[in-house]
Amino acid sequence: MTDASSSSSVTAPGGALAGVMDALAWVPRLVVLHLCWTVLVLLGGVIGGVAPATATMLAVLRGEEAYARIPARFRRELVPANAAAGPFVLLGTCALLDLGLGVAGLLPAWFMPTGLVVAAPLAVLAFLALPHALCLHALRPGAPATVIWRGALAGPVLLPIATGSWAITIMAAVIVSLLVRPFGLLMAGGILVTVTSLVLLRTWQSRLDIVRSVAPADDGVNR
């Protein structure tokens, strides 16, 4: 019994240390992802760069594209990624701009509270639908934009746990970035790409794999 307890006391710190080392190993990768993502967003004119930059870095993170091929991949993603996710970027930007100007008192008096009631839900809708659109575009790059939009809007309902986990993680990262500025300046974009890939994209992949495996069985029954 003494041996078991002493063994567990030795193993636990070792396991904790391994976890810390694994986390630290991600720091350089997050910094590189963030720097690449930021440059691509700026090259796309910010609003027009968010979707293709994120799609490009998702491909890099998943091993589909090498770092040396980032510029070429970004050029290929400019039109399709913006077609798939650009409307949500634009919607979210306009809604947040309205909210900011309204709270600052720079909009007509009628905006408060009428405009606030409209702008706030639209901002939340865009915030939640955008990552789903990017994930669906990554998994089904040839799908029509309208199909991607419908899937993105249904994503929070179809995948509530994954969506909630993604939103909580991103909001926590935003809060930490505001409190610790170097954190946001060096890793914010990398965290966005990584969390989107690990939480949402993998969940969508599993769901689509299930749908694909069920479809042939249904065809066989119908025949």
C-alpha distances (whole Å) from 44 to each of 39, 75, 82, 110, 161 are 9, 9, 10, 35, 32
DSSP letter at 142 equals T
- Give residue limits of the domains in the chain: 16-211
Contact 52, 74 (CB under 8 A): yes
Percent of the chain with pLDDT over 70: 85
Q: Taking residues 186-202, what's their average pLDDT? A: 94
Band of residue 4 on the pLDDT scale cut at 50, 70, 90: very low
Who wins on pLDDT, 23 or 91? 91
Contact 102, 112 (CB under 8 A): yes
Contact 176, 183 (CB under 8 A): yes
* Whole-number pLDDT of residue 7: 44
Q: Taking residues 75-93, what's their average pLDDT? A: 97
Omega prior to 52 cis, within 30 of 0: no
Band of residue 195 on the pLDDT scale cut at 50, 70, 90: very high
Contact 131, 85 (CB under 8 A): no
* Whole-number pLDDT of residue 222: 47
pLDDT at 87 exceeding the cut of 50: yes
Residues 6+ apart with CB under 8 A from 73: 56, 59, 60, 65
What pLDDT digit, counting tens, does each position of 112-162 carry? 777 788 899 999 999 999 999 999 999 999 999 999 999 999 999 999 999
Band of residue 26 on the pLDDT scale cut at 50, 70, 90: confident
pTM of the model: 0.85
